[in-house]
C-alpha cells in the first residue's frame, strides 16, 4: 500500500510539472505580446511552481536513501519556491489593480535562467555547509502552507471582487475556480500535516492538477490569451 501510494504521488507530481510548464509557455506568449511588467509575475510564478514540483520529486527519490542533509536542503527549497511562486502571482494581481504597468525589455528566458541558477547555487551552499536545523523544515512546512493559503485567498478575493466588471464573465469564471482548486490542494496538505491521512495527501496533489487544467482550458476558450484572468480593470 505504501509503495503504491508513493508511486501515485510521483506520477501526480510528473503530471503537475508538465501542466505547470505548459502554463509557463502560455503565459510567456501573453507576456511577449505586450511586455507588461505586470504580466512578468505570472510566467515566473508558475515557473517557480514547476521547479517546486521537480524538487519534490527529487526529495521523494532520495528519502529512502536516508541522506538527511540532502533531503532537508531540497525540502527547504521546495517550500520556498512554492511560496515565492504564489507571491509572484499575487503581486501580478495586486499591480493590475493599481495601474496598467509599464513596458519592460526584460527577457523572460534570461530571468528564468538566472532564477534557476540561483536555486542551484543555494542548494549547493546548503549541501556544502550543511547547517544545523535544516530538518526543522518539516515543522515550519505548516507555516509556509498557511502563508500560501493567505496568498491564494488574496488572489481569489481580487478576482471575485472584479469578476462582475469583466467582459465575458462566463469564460473568466474558470480563473477563480482554478485558484480555488489550488487553494484546496494547499489546504488538503495542511490537513495531511495535522492528521496524516492518505486521502488528504492524495487530494493535495490532485486538486492543484485540476486547477492547472482549468487554467489551460481558460486560455484556449477565451481566445488564446487575448484576455487575462484580471481583465476588466
Please, are residues 123 and 77 in contact by the beta-carbon 8 Å criterion?
yes
**Domain contains 230:** no
Tens of pLDDT, residue by residue, the chain (233 residues): 566 777 888 888 889 888 988 888 887 777 677 656 556 677 788 888 888 888 887 777 775 544 566 777 788 888 888 888 898 888 877 777 665 544 455 555 565 565 666 666 766 666 566 655 566 666 778 888 999 999 999 999 888 887 665 554 444 567 888 999 999 999 999 998 888 788 888 899 999 999 999 988 887 776 554 545 544 34
CATH of the domain at 54: 1.20.1070
**Domain contains 231:** no
**Domain contains 228:** no
**Domain contains 229:** no
**Domain contains 199:** yes
Please, are residues 74 and 123 in contact by the beta-carbon 8 Å criterion?
yes
Phi, then psi, of 36 in degrees rounded to 5: -75, 140
Structural domains of the chain, count? 1
> Cell triple for residue 22?
505548459
**Domain contains 63:** yes
3-state helix, strand, coil in the chain (%, to 5): 85, 0, 15
**Domain contains 232:** no
Contacts of 95 (CB under 8 A, 6+ apart): 37, 38, 41, 101
Instruction: Give the structural domain span for 187.
Output: 2-221
Amino acid at each position: 500500500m505504501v509503495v503504491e501510494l508513493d508511486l501515485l504521488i510521483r506520477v501526480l507530481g510528473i503530471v503537475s510539472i508538465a501542466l505547470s510548464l505548459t502554463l509557463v509557455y502560455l503565459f510567456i506568449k501573453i507576456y511577449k505580446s505586450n511586455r507588461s511588467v505586470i504580466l512578468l509575475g505570472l510566467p515566473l510564478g508558475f515557473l517557480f511552481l514547476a521547479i517546486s514540483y521537480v524538487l519534490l520529486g527529487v526529495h521523494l527519490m532520495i528519502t529512502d536513501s536516508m541522506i538527511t542533509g540532502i533531503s532537508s536542503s531540497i525540502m527547504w527549497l521546495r517550500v520556498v519556491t512554492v511560496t515565492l511562486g504564489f507571491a509572484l502571482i499575487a503581486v501580478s494581481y495586486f499591480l493590475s489593480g493599481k495601474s496598467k504597468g509599464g513596458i519592460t525589455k526584460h527577457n523572460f528566458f534570461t530571468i528564468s535562467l538566472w532564477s534557476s541558477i540561483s536555486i542551484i547555487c543555494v542548494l549547493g551552499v546548503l549541501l556544502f555547509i550543511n547547517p544545523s536545523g535544516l530538518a526543522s523544515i518539516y515543522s515550519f512546512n505548516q507555516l509556509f502552507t498557511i502563508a500560501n493559503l493567505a496568498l491564494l485567498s488574496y488572489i481569489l478575493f481580487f478576482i471575485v471582487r472584479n469578476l462582475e466588471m469583466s467582459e465575458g464573465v462566463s469564460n473568466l469564471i474558470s480563473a477563480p475556480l482554478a485558484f480555488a482548486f489550488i487553494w484546496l490542494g494547499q489546504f488538503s496538505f495542511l490537513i495531511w500535516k495535522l492528521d496524516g491521512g492518505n486521502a488528504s495527501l492524495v487530494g493535495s496533489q490532485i486538486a492543484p492538477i485540476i486547477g492547472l487544467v482549468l487554467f489551460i482550458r481558460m486560455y484556449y476558450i477565451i481566445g488564446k490569451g487575448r484576455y487575462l484572468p484580471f481583465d476588466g480593470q
